[in-house]
Amino acid sequence: MMKKSLLGALAFGLATSTSAFAQTEIQWWHAMTGANNEVVNRLADEFNNSQKDYKDVVSYKGQYADTLNAGIAAFRAGNAPHILQVFEVGTATMMGARGAVKPVYQMMAEAGEKFDPKAYLPAITGYYSTAKGEMLSFPFNSSSMVMWINKDELKKAGVNEIPKTWPEVFEAGKKLKAAGHDTCGFSNAWASWANVEQFSAWHNIPMATKANGLDGFDTEMKFNSPAHVKHLQNLVDLQKDKTYDYSGRDSKSEGRFTSGECAIFLTSSGFYGNVKANAKFDFTSVPMPYYPDIQGAPQNSIIGGASLWVMGGKKAEEYKGVAKFFAFLSDTDRQAKLHQESGYLPITKAAYEKTKASGFYEKNPVLETPLKELTNKEPTENSRGLRFGNMVQIRDVISEEIEAALAGQKPAKDALDAAVTRSNQILRQFERTVR
C-alpha cells in the first residue's frame, strides 16, 4: 500500500513538474530573407530567452505573396499560425477576412498587456488601423521606396551629382551604359510599387478614387493618367538599349545592385541590411526621383513593408503569449536597435527620438532617407496610402501589362488602360465578397 502511494505521489509530482515547465508555442510565419531573416531569428531567440512560458517558433514561407497565400490556405485547413507577416498591400484583404483574424487592439486588451496606440508613429499605424484609430495589426518591418546609389560607379561614369529628377536619372543611366554597364543603366524592383503606387503618391496624382481606397472599397483605378503613360513610355524607350532594364515584380532582383551590375536601383529602404552586408563599394540611398514639370512634386512617399496579423481561433493562453511578444517588440531600446541594423523604420516615437538624439542619422544618413520621404509634405488624399482588396492579384495585372509594354507588345497607354480595366474588375469581385 505504501509502495503504491509513493509511486502515485511521484507520478503526480512528475506531472505537475512537467505541466509547470511546459511552454506554449507561438507559431510565426514570415517572408524575410538574407540579413533580415537573421533579424527575425534573433528576435525570436531573444524573446524565448527572456521568459519561460512561451516559445516563439519562426517559419519562412517564401516571398510576401507566398506567405499571405500560405496563411490563408492554412486558416481554411484549420492550422493557421498565431502570427502571419503580411505586406502592406494585403491589408484590405486581411480586413475583409471575417473571423480569420484577431484585431491587435482587442487581443492586447483581453490579454491585459500594456498597449498605447499613440506611442507608435502615426504615419505607420494609420495604415493598419480603423477610422477610429484601432490598430488591427502590429507594424513590424515598415519601409518606403528609396533610390540606392553605387557612388563608385557613378564617379567612374562621370556622373558628378547624384540624380534628383527622372530626366537626370535617364542621363545618368546613359552615361553608366556608355561606361560599361551594358546590361543595366538603372532599374527597380517591385514593378507596380515603384512605377505606379509610389510614383502616384510622390507626384500627388491619384492612383484611384476614394483616397486610393482608404475611404471605401467602392474605389476605381485611375493610374492611366497622362503622367503615368509618359513615365511608362520613357521606360519603354530606354529598355530598348538597356539604359533601363526591367527587374521583375518583387525583390528577387535586388542582387543586381549589390553585385554592382545596376548602379542605380530603386527598391525598399529595408534593403539596407543586405546592402551593408554584401556591397563591396561606396553606397548611399536618396529620395525617389520625380518629374520637375509635374506641379507639387515631390509630395510624400507611402509605407511599404509588412505588419504582423494575429490569426483567429486560438486559445486565450496562446493570445497572451502573442501579446507578450508584441510588448517585447515595442521596447524602445529593441526598436531603436532593430531600426539601426535592418534599415526598417522605427515603429515607436520613442525609438525614433532616441535614435535621432544619439546623432545616429548624422553618421548614417541612409537610414533617414525614407523618414524624410514619408514626412516631405503633409499627406493628401493621393498620398495617404492605399487600401485595395485583392491587391496581390492587382499587382500581378499591373506588372503583366507593364511587361507587355516593355516587350513592345502594346503601346504604353493601351497597357495602362488594360491594367486599369482589369484591376477594376478585381476590385468589384472583392467588393462583392465583403458586403
Instruction: Convert the pLDDT of each residue in 31-71 to its tens digit.
Output: 999 888 999 999 999 999 999 999 999 999 999 999 999 99
Angle value at C-alpha 51, between 45 and 55, nearest 5 degrees: 55
Helix pair angle (226-239, 412-434), 10° resolution: 120
Q: pLDDT-based confidence at 97, cuts 50/70/90?
A: confident
pLDDT value of residue 60: 97
pLDDT value of residue 14: 43
Q: pLDDT-based confidence at 22, cuts 50/70/90?
A: confident
Average pLDDT taken over every residue of the chain = 92
Q: Which has the closest alpha carbon to 112: 309, 307, 315, 321?
A: 321
C-beta contacts of 426-431 below 8 A and 24+ residues apart: 426/389, 426/390, 426/393, 426/394, 426/397, 427/217, 427/219, 427/220, 427/221, 427/388, 427/389, 427/390, 427/394, 429/390, 430/92, 430/93, 430/96, 430/217, 430/388, 430/389, 430/390, 431/217, 431/218, 431/389
Are the beta carbons of 23 and 52 closer than 8 angstroms? yes
Q: Is the pLDDT of residue 253 over 70?
A: yes
From the CA atom positions of the chain, what is the Rg in Å? 24
Domains annotated for the chain, with CATH where assigned, are 24-143+303-367 (3.40.190.10), 145-300+388-434 (3.40.190.10)
- Residues 329, 326: Cα–Cα separation, whole Å: 5
Coil/strand/helix, residue 87: strand
Q: In the chain, what percentage of residues exceed pLDDT 70?
A: 95
Q: Is the pLDDT of residue 12 over 80?
A: no
pLDDT value of residue 348: 87
pLDDT in tens, 160-194: 999 999 999 999 999 999 999 999 999 999 999 99
Residue 361 cell numbers, joined = 542619422
Tell me whether residue 176 is exposed, middle or buried, using C-beta atoms within 10 angstroms of its C-beta: 0 to 12, 13 to 18, 19 or more: buried
Work out whether strand 101-102 and strand 304-311 pair parallel, antiparallel, or are unpaired.
antiparallel
- Residues 21, 231: Cα–Cα separation, whole Å: 60
pTM: 0.85
Q: Is the pLDDT of residue 79 over 60?
A: yes
